[in-house]
Amino acid sequence: MRFDRQPGENEPGAHTFELKAILLVDDDKQLATALQWILADENFLVDVAFDGEEALIKVKAHQYDAIICDLKMPRLRGDEFYLRARNMRPALSDSFIFITGYATDPQIRTFLIEQEVKFLVKPFPIKGLIRCVKELLS
């Protein structure tokens, strides 16, 4: 018995698609893990960091298409991480989506407005986050 190869079969790139890499930064480990699984179900490659310092190390080592980042975290807050990551990799400045439960905090509000960044207020609908990520990456 002989099987003929179909056109395009087994050719490099014939059945490939590009996965977008996301760095998720949140000190709430339960939320971060849940969002990691949800975003992976949407065919994103998701890396997780639990504070800004860990995230900065990951940004130095890897290229990300988007970063979803909490603002209030220990060791290095999200706004400080954003400024350092942007200095390190300027192309990332338009790749952030911030998530916060403190959008009314004057310091956080000032940062969000001055930097003109995308943000969602916790608790946010999961579909809203997915839509925001897809818009950012399109």
Q: Please give the residue range of the domain that contains residue 128.
A: 20-137
Asked if residue 77 is part of any domain, the answer here is yes
Residue 2 lies in a domain: no
Q: pLDDT at position 78, please?
A: 96
For residue 47, is it within any domain?
Answer: yes
CATH number of 33's domain: 3.40.50.2300
DSSP-H helix ranges across the chain: 29-41, 52-61, 78-88, 106-115, 126-137
Q: How many domains does the chain have?
A: 1
Report the pLDDT value the prediction gives residue 49, as an integer from 0 to 100: 98
> Is 114 part of a structural domain of the chain?
yes
Domain contains 66: yes
Residue 53 within a domain: yes
Residue 56 placed within a domain: yes
pLDDT tens series, the chain, 138 aa: 444 555 555 555 555 667 899 999 999 999 999 999 999 999 999 999 999 999 999 999 999 999 999 999 999 999 999 999 999 999 999 999 999 999 899 999 999 999 999 999 999 999 999 999 999 999
Q: What is the pLDDT of residue 7?
A: 55
The answer to whether residue 80 is domain-embedded is yes
Residue 36 tokens read as: 């990691």
> Rounded to an integer, what distance in angstroms lies between the CA atom of residue 36 and that of residue 67?
12
Q: What share of the chain is helix, strand, coil (3-state, %, to 5)?
A: 45, 20, 35
